[in-house]
Amino acid sequence: MTNTPQKDRTQSSQRISEAAHKNHEELFPNHKSTLKVTDPELIEVFDNFAFDEVITLSKLDTKTRVMLILASMIGSQALSEFKIMVGAALNVGVTPIEIKEIVYQGVPYVGMAKAFDFVHATNEILTHRGIQLPLEGQSTTSPETRYDKGLAVQKEIFGETIDQMYERSPKDQLHIQRFLSANCFGDYYTRNGVDIKVRELITLSILIALGGVESQINALLLLRKNKIFVGWVERSETQQNQRLLVLGFVPQPNLRLNSSKSLKIRVDDFYPTRVIKER
């Protein structure tokens, strides 16, 4: 019986591109991956895609991209990976307050029951990093002002649509509109720590990862009063239109993604200039 020479199982890890390695190190400096030992082929494929190919086509800066990844992990309930990415976020300049605001922003969309573990996980990591809790408060409203300020933010984002929603609401459901204005917008959107435009990106990332909420995604994008173009854009158009922002790969079957198309958003008057990385 002859022994068949074993293939060098570390060989595939050597095929990780220089760009993928560099971008990975930016988030996780000197990290020793156990999966790189046990699953080298998976790590080769994933790292080259996520840390090279996707980033090459993205116009988001590293800090903003990581913030949106954290948001998407709340929506998809990826707690273990969230804990790892909080450390990466701190490594690339996301502040503790910004991380907290991402978690808080998830509460009105995923519910406190699903956000609960993410709040505690964030606290554990910040404490381990020597960051004293509680952090500086970011609330800008009071019980007396939350409704009016929330309604004002709604109208800033969605315009006259909000008045129409109130007018068309049945009387026995009008309290739901008030809940939306006072809680979702008055309690959360009015907070400091993250500006409204980035907060909308965070919300969008949470909703896409959550899945099954296409109507809310349409409301967030299509009803906004500023100029936005949202739709399914052929890949061939991507290179022709420099004002399109690729949000990234979204593996959510509820969005009915077509393999030949990608979700694109025109950035006119929507995203802060620091988010866009000029090529």
Give mean pLDDT, residues 185-192.
Answer: 98
In a domain, 48, yes or no: no
pLDDT of residue 1: 53
User: Residue 80 and residue 121: Cα distance in Å, rounded?
Assistant: 9
Say if 50 falls within a structural domain. Answer: no
Identify the pLDDT of residue 275: 40
Provide the domain limits for residue 112. Answer: 58-133+192-273
pTM above 0.95, yes or no: no
Using one digit for the tens of pLDDT, what is the confidence trace for 140-167?
A: 999 999 999 999 999 998 888 899 999 9
Average pLDDT of the residues in 225-236: 40
Q: The tokens 């709604």 sit on which residue?
A: 154
Per the domain annotation, does 168 fall within a domain? yes
CATH number of the domain at 203, please.
1.20.1290.10
Asked whether residue 253 falls in the same domain as residue 208, the answer is yes
Flag whether 158 is in a domain: yes
pLDDT in tens, 105-123: 999 999 999 999 999 999 9
- Residue 216 pLDDT: 81
**Count of all residues that appear for the chain in the document:** 279
Q: Can you give the pLDDT at residue 4?
A: 54
Burial label for 265, CB within 10 Å (0-12, 13-18, 19+), is buried
Residue 3 token pair: 């022994």
Q: Over 70: is that where the pLDDT of 72 sits?
A: yes
Q: Quick one: pLDDT at residue 233?
A: 35
Sheet containing 230-234, strands listed edge to edge, beginning at the edge strand earlier in sequence: 230-234, 261-266, 244-246
- Range 181-192 average pLDDT: 98
Mean pLDDT of 167-183: 96
Fill in the DSSP letter of residue 199.
Answer: H
The backbone region for 5, taken as left when phi is positive above 0, alpha when psi lies in -120 to 50, beta otherwise, is beta
- The runs of H, that is alpha helices, within 34-111 are 35-38, 40-48, 54-57, 62-75, 79-91, 96-110
What amino acid occupies position 229? F
Answer with the residue of higher pLDDT: 230 or 155: 155
The pLDDT of residue 221 is 74
What is the mean predicted confidence (pLDDT) over 267-272? 39
Per-chain mean pLDDT for the chain: 82
pLDDT, tens digit, 9 for 90 and up, residues 240-267: 343 334 343 333 333 433 333 344 444 4
Averaged over 203-210, what is the pLDDT?
A: 94
Domain boundary among 173, 189, 205: 189
Do 166 and 265 lie in one domain? The reply is no
